[in-house]
Amino acid sequence: MSALVAIGVLVAEYVLEAARMSGDFSGLMDLTLQSQVMHSSTAAALAWRLLGLVLIIMALRLRGPPVVPLSVAGILLVTGAFALTGHTATHPERWLLSLLLLAHLLVVMFWFGALVPLHVASSRESAAIAGEVTEAFSVIAIWVVPVLLVSGLMLSVLLLKGFAGLRTTYGHLLLVKLAAFAALMGLGALNKWRLGPAVGRGDPRATAAFRRSLKSEYILIAAVLSVTAILTSFYSPD
């Protein structure tokens, strides 16, 4: 269902792109603008995302060996599409930025996507199973979260024009993202070293605190994604 909703949103975004370019809804009927959109990187990114979502839907409906390659291909297409537009697409170091962005987005998807299953496991499963699920996530997270930090810092260094860039609106929003990431790291450390092990031991108070922590992480990541959308849509690091 989520993938179908995403497809609907993408199609609506594509249809409204000409209106955004013209500044009002008259752009919807402007064939020149519609042609520009059709031949732009926006259309290419849309095609990648739609194909990726279709592959993900197919993977969710199938069973057996094709599921993993279809899922991986779909995820890579959806994330790779972000490198076709925005600051990354026009930067002299485009390929390096694209690889960093891909790594950054994949870790964000892993982290954000794991929060609901972790919450469900801690709410519905036995303490032993919930503890195993939490530990399995932590084992992966401890390796991939540093990738999120390093790739994010490298993207910022490549896009910003030195420390002076931090005094711009773009830089201010970037600092907001960094502060939110620091808060997320604090919650992640709390879950890894204190609450997660207590969940496995069946501690009811720790389990309740663990679920509250997951909700806080979800809200923080959603806020970071919202700030990122504003950052990339309305402001430039130049």
Helix, strand, coil share (%) of the chain residues, nearest 5: 90, 0, 10
pLDDT beyond 70 at 111: yes
The 10s digit of each residue's pLDDT in 36-82 is 777 778 888 888 999 999 999 899 888 878 888 999 999 999 999 98
| Percent of the chain residues past pLDDT 70, beyond the cut | 93
pTM assigned to the model: 0.86
Can you tell me the distance from the alpha carbon of 237 to that of 46, in angstroms, rounded to the nearest whole number?
24
The answer to whether the beta carbons of residues 59 and 76 sit under 8 Å apart is no
Can you tell me the distance from the alpha carbon of 207 to that of 198, in angstroms, rounded to the nearest whole number?
7
The answer to whether the beta carbons of residues 114 and 102 sit under 8 Å apart is no
Give the pLDDT band (50/70/90) at residue 123: very high
The answer to whether the beta carbons of residues 100 and 154 sit under 8 Å apart is yes
CB neighbour class for 78 (10 Å; exposed up to 12, middle 13-18, buried from 19): buried
Q: How many CB atoms lie within 10 A of CB 88?
A: 22
Q: What is the pLDDT of residue 113?
A: 92
pLDDT beyond 70 at 27: no
pLDDT beyond 90 at 198: yes
Q: What's the distance, Cα to Cα, between the start and end of the chain in Å?
A: 39
Phi and psi (nearest 5°) for 160?
-80, 150
